Structure 1
Amino acid sequence: MGEAVAVNIVSADLDAAAQPLIGEVVADRVASRIGAGDATLWGAEAEAEAAIRLGWTTLHQTSRTLIGEISALRDELHADGIDRIVLAGMGGSSLAPEVITNTEGVALTVLDTTDPGQVADALAGDLSRTALVVSSKSGGTVETDSQRRVFAEAMASDGIEPASRMIVVTDPGTPLAELAEQQGYRKLFLADPHVGGRYSALTAFGLVPAGLAGADVARLLDQAAGAADALSEDSADNPAHRLGCALAAAHTAGAEKVVLTNTDLGAPGSLTGLCDWVEQLLAESTGKHGTGLLPVVVESPDAPGFRTPGEDATPVAIGPARDGAAVSAEGSLGAQFLLWEYATAITGRLLGINPFDQPDVEAAKNATRALLDGGAGGATGQAGPAGSPDLVDGAVQVFTGTGSAAGTLDEALRELLAAVPARGYLAVQAYLDRLDDASASLLRPELAKRAGVHVTFGWGPRFLHSTGQYHKGGHPNGVFLQITGDVDHDLAIPDMPYSLAQLQLAQAEGDGQVLAERGFDVLRVHLTDRAAGLAQLVAAIERL
């Protein structure tokens, strides 16, 4: 019996608009062709990329060989007294394991940050009981490599052989795979190279860290397998057809934003964090060439933004439909992973874009490298932002980048909001510690209450691996509020000429530089005292 996964198009108008598209994709046999690995579906320009990116459609079968390997390694680690799993990963390498373990209620420490405070907190755990999963598709992710270096040095300082605690997940032939073999790391898992990072939830990238932490990965694959036939069927009832065509029809009508919320948070088996995973999948897959879908993750169906201030968004409930939702998607976690992947691929075809590339992601990485190398716009060795702030207001330094005449933080924020174009959005980007500085996430609903526009929130640098693509390649109607902060205690990165704090700041400045060069308004506030600065920022927003 198949695993139930259901999509309900609640809005009658949207359902009517979606029906012709559903008829089109059924007639073109899009779902069955995706399931069969047909790389021609997205046009000639996308064919070469699509040909090596459709392995996700059969992972419910091909990933089963991992189940025994993961279980055996977990038993082996436990026999050695190792029962604490830390994951060093970014984007597709961290979001799926996090939602899997959160949903199952098992402990996994996820390091998808360059914030020295958050890394130090992970280091403060019992290293004698710790294994580090180093997860990078390219094998060269700077954040992941930095975390690996820091942990290896700390373990060695504690008399622990680092190689005995290192577990690597990467594609074949990467520098990380070569390093793991040269250094004799405890285990090397080679992932399916025919699956892109954001589609990799059911590959080794999702299953290894989650399974080592104690999640039932066999059940997850069973859930996906139970939905696979329905999602690859050329039928008007196919849930992926309904979801993908609803999103495409809404986009055609001017609703390029997708407001996502989990409607059963707190319920047993609630898919905690799935909205963040969907955010990455949709934004990076569709946000390019001036088009695409911008996910706006909100805290609950009652949060500001779910009942939209305009007609530029489609409210989607993950879980049972609630008032205000235009679409709902229900099903187990494994089934939802596959549902959203199919729907995203279908939406990409209908929007006329390649859902498997990310042409604008490298720009911020290049700007970061230039800053760390002492290139234009920055220099190595600085503890604070490059250049002088345009104004200082208490514990907040304000960098407008535009020669603004604002004399206070309040005025700078008002100027930024006034710059949001019609049907635009405000993106809040917090390059902080997402545990100790968690209160920063409250800025999203507070701004949404007052701004009258859609407001997104992302922790830096992890959003660079997801919505960062949309910011630069999607609809060009965003403005950006960056938040950086001083650190109490920095951490050196062994054998590198910069520290974690310097890397974190260069990532913020590099992305801000790219956005500004592309004509976007960017306001950066730097907190010289994080707690006081955040309180001051909240107070300023409340006065808007």
Structure 2
Amino acid sequence: MSFRISVSGAAADAVRTAVPVLVDDLVASSITALDPALWGAAAEDEASKRLGWTESVAISRPLVPEILALRESLLEKGVTHIALAGMGGSSLAPEVITRTAGVELTVLDSTDPGQVLAALSDRLESTALVVSSKSGSTVETDSQRRVFERAFVAAGIDPAERIIVVTDPGSPLEASATEAGYRVFNADPTVGGRYSALTAFGLVPSGLAGVDIAELLDEAESISLALAIDSAENPGLVLGAAIAATSPRRDKLAIVADGTHIVGFADWVEQLIAESTGKLGTGILPVVLDTDAPELAENLADVQVVRVVDDAGLEIFPAHDSSGEIRVSGTLGAQFLVWEYATVVAGRLLQINPFDQPDVESAKIATRGLLDSRPEPEPAAFISDGIEVRGTPHVIGAASDLASAVDALLEELGPDGYVAVQAYVDRLALPELVQVRDLLASLSHRPVTFGWGPRFLHSTGQFHKGGPATGVFLQILATPAEDLDIPGRPFTFGELIQAQASGDASVLAEHGRPVLTLTLTQPASNLTTLFDALR
């Protein structure tokens, strides 16, 4: 089969309890029939416009020859390298698709000036840029497009020959791209960004980069019938119940890639579940873990483990495991579709709308306000070995050095809390920063998430503000070695990423979330100081 699932312990109990009810309520067939009433009256209007992903395979089929024809045309012109400017759902799915296929795609999902400069300097002469934005107004993507346009012109390249746009019909981006003569692919407007893996947003950049996108759609289609049937074996119902119906609910979902051929899948699942469920004070927090992560040895009562495995590892459960695990295996296309079904099933079980993201906009508004008013930066509470330390009053009040500031943040953790690390840095230049995650997990004995800023603002940022008020937040910023202006804008990339971090910190503080912000003024040397403090 293209997808298989096995459950044990608490997850198996949840499946036995919840799936018969879901079957009796005809949930699977109702999803496939595009019934917007499944999530209650308050969600009905939004749901009526957001169920197109269930038909993505059929709707996307005609795109395949168009994408392949464009790829051949670009190759004939010497274009051998594809870059993607996009955030959230516009970049996470193509990143998983291309990495799993072993195909190169440069994903630009950052406003860090160093990371943008690295993309601009990477084979520009043979590069085409895919600009992906559902709304057409995403500030990150708009800024990335502007600097690429300038770079192409400076290199004597007509941007109309190198820029491809993916957006919803009628968006501001469609209008401006059409006027500029860019090739435009319209996406299905009835599909939300995080559910768009099998639409133009996932297929255009992946297909242009060289992925067999027809095979990806075949993989998804092979599981479609099983997902549409009201049956106790329906994998979407089983997975949705396993992640959302445990009693008491295990509201942290540890996602572990454990022998799967799929590369980076947990990062895509993280956005899908966190942004879909984290609202109205409830939700499921995805925690992306390696197989040796400290949390897996803690046996935490509120953590449900799901392992993405190959078929050989599906039925193997640790003999000492009393809490139970979920194990899934399958092709990438099937995994996309099953997890989308499971997420909306989880939304029904949690009694929330899985299609809106009411708290994402708050950080965007705060960012725009800071960019418009340009206030002087808040002075650091103190500087420790070149690391500027700021934070909310309870965190920073009693701190005198870096270690005590971290201790003060962790003291705000409750028994059901989590730590969120938000790294607003160049992830290409500082990949080792991810080590902070395991260090904090060992120190706190609680689940720790790690997100690269600002991309997480389009995914887990929703859960941080709208989900349970149990998180504490560590922001890590870095002073850029070189800044980069944005054509036609009164701010630079360095100012933009600073405003995004400051704006989100202010919104978190308004929601009563503890925040500690560390700015690395000399990133390479400051890392050692930071790691020592966390040890």
Task: Give the TM-score category using the shorter length.
Answer: over 0.9
Q: For 1:415 and 1:143, how far apart are their aligned partners in 2?
A: 33
Deviates more, 1:95-104 or 1:37-46: 37-46
Deviation at residue 308 of structure 1 after TM alignment: 4.1
Contact 2:398 2:408 in 1 (8 A): no
The alpha carbon displacement at 1:309 in A equals: 4.3
Match of 1:310 among 291, 300, 313: 300
| Map 1:59-458 → 2, pairs under 5 A | 59-185=56-182, 187-250=183-246, 252-264=247-259, 270-300=261-291, 302-319=292-309, 320-321=313-314, 323=318, 326-374=325-373, 378-379=375-376, 386-402=377-393, 404-458=397-451
Deviations 1:123-163 (A, max 9, x none): 11121101000000000000000000011111111111112
Unaligned runs of 5+ in 1: 380-385
Give the Cα–Cα distance (whole angstroms) in 2 for the partners of residues 7 and 355 of structure 1.
22
Residue 290 of structure 1 deviates from its aligned partner by: 0.2
Answer yes or no: is the 8 Å Cα contact 2:476–2:519 preserved in 1.
Answer: yes
Q: Distance in 2 between the 1:62 and 1:151 partners? A: 31
| 1:14 partnered with 2:11 | yes
1:478 corresponds to which residue?
Answer: 471
The CA deviation at 1:97 is: 0.1
1:480 is paired with a residue of what secondary structure?
strand
Residues 447-466 of structure 1: per-residue CA shift (max 9 Å, x gap): 11121111100000000000
- The one-letter code sitting in structure 2 at the alignment partner of 1:332 is T
Residues 308, 315 of structure 1: 8 Å contact kept: no
Give TM-score, length-normalised by structure 2. 0.96
TM-superposition CA deviations, 1:45-88 (whole Å, max 9, x none): 11111111111111111100010000000000000001110000
Q: Secondary structure at the match of 1:328?
A: strand
SS at match of 1:306: helix
Q: Hey, what's the Cα distance between the residues in 1 that align with 2:214 and 2:301? A: 42
Aligned partner letter, 1:364: A
Deviations 1:498-537 (A, max 9, x none): 0001000100000000000111100000000011112211
One of 511, 514, 523 as aligned partner of 1:521:
514
Aligned CA RMSD, in angstroms, stands at 1.1
Instruction: Please state whether the residue corresponding to 1:255 is helix, strand or coil.
Output: coil
Would you say the 8 A contact 2:357–2:462 is kept in 1? Answer: yes
For the 8 Å contact 1:307–1:315, the answer to whether it is kept is no
CA distance in 1 between partners of 2:258 and 2:269 (Å): 15
Structure 2 match to 1:5: 3
- 1:309 and 1:452 in contact (8 A); partners too: no
What amino acid is aligned across from residue 304 of structure 1 in structure 2? P
Structure 1 runs (4+) greater than 3 angstroms displaced:
320-325
Whichever residue aligns with residue 9 of structure 1, its letter is V
In structure 2, how many angstroms separate the alpha carbons of the residues matched to 1:100 and 1:494?
32
Letter of the 1:156 counterpart:
V
Corresponding position of 1:30: 27
Gapped regions of structure 2 (runs ≥ 5): none
Distance 2:264 2:327 in 1: 16
